[in-house]
Amino acid sequence: MSNSHIRGILAPAVTPFGMDLQPDSTRFIAHCKWLLRSGCHALAVFGTTGEANSLSVRERKALLDELVSHGVEAGRLLVGTGCCSLSDVAELTLHAVKAGCAGVLMLPPFYYKAVTDEGLFRSVSETIERVADNRLRVYLYHIPPVATVGFSIELIGRLVEAYPGIVIGIKDSSGDWDHTRLLIGAFPGFGVFSGNEFSLVDNLKYGGCGCITATANVNAFAIRKLFDSWHHDNADMLQQRVNDTRAILGRFPMISALKGVISRFRDDEGWRVVRPPLVELTNHVVEGLLNTLVSQGFVMPDISGEDE
């Protein structure tokens, strides 16, 4: 794994499924390559938006292997390894290290809610010790709106102190910009990503690394343009445009909405499939969503073209 921080716009890539609900590696590879061509600096695979916790360990490992073997550079992949099982986390993390990925994105174990910082420290520590590889780079995944369990400021500090050069960053999906700003200030040199694009300009102004945002699955080009222009006079206008797109998509269940939009732009109904317990949007709802987006000037450049 790389010694340097990832920085920029990362898409937590959605995972396509066939009608039999099995992962579709062909669609997955094509989508990941399009995301990188469309401006993503890197990809966060097997996270919340990728329905990772509806995937088995075997499925995640196989999809990662397929992705790398078909030309997606491992050094541009941040691999979600979050599970409730300590053994599963360690297995997935070791697999990502051996594949040469840039890092892993690690949820806290999230089933038991009334857990202490000590218990969470032991969970992350045990994973690192089991992997036992200095190439490992861990980005913590703080998403209390979904997981309920999160990483406190004190716990982050303890992990950074115990594993310098290994625990190197965080995705803050708290939805609270003040919390993200606190993280950036509290840990100089720590790689702090916002969990959405709403605060991208502020993240960069305060010394953060960028954002890992679900809507990059469909709006990567515009979000990358904002990243490249955050210090220019038109940054506020560009920020508002991506905010507007995010707000429209946010009116619907996000994963189903993203897959619905991709299905229309790719002219591929198979893209609408989600794994239970998620449910796809109806055709009527997708059409209404698309009409609203297009009326705001939304496009997905080159998504129907040939994938390399």
Write down the mean pLDDT value for the chain.
96
What CATH number does the domain located at 8-226 have? 3.20.20.70
| CB of 306 closer than 8 Å to CB of 266 | no
Tell me the average pLDDT across 202-229.
97
At residue 304, does pLDDT exceed 80? no
At residue 77, does pLDDT exceed 60? yes
Interval 218-250: pLDDT, tens: 999 999 999 999 999 999 999 999 999 999 999
- Identify the pLDDT of residue 3: 40
Q: Is the peptide bond before 188 cis (omega within 30 degrees of 0)?
A: no
At residue 2, does pLDDT exceed 80? no
At residue 37, does pLDDT exceed 90? yes
At residue 96, does pLDDT exceed 80? yes
Host H or E run for residue 145 = helix 144-147
- Identify the pLDDT of residue 303: 81
Residue 302 neighbours by CB distance under 10 Å: 13
- Identify the pLDDT of residue 300: 93
pTM: 0.95
- Identify the pLDDT of residue 305: 56
Position 229, amino acid: S
Query: In terms of Cα–Cα distance, which of 171, 124, 11, 163 is closest to 77?
Result: 11
Please report which confidence band the pLDDT of residue 307 belongs to, taking 50, 70 and 90 as the band edges: low
- Identify the pLDDT of residue 155: 98
Tell me the average pLDDT across 115-139.
98
At residue 134, does pLDDT exceed 90? yes
Tell me the average pLDDT across 23-46.
98
Residue spans of the domains in the chain: they are: 8-226
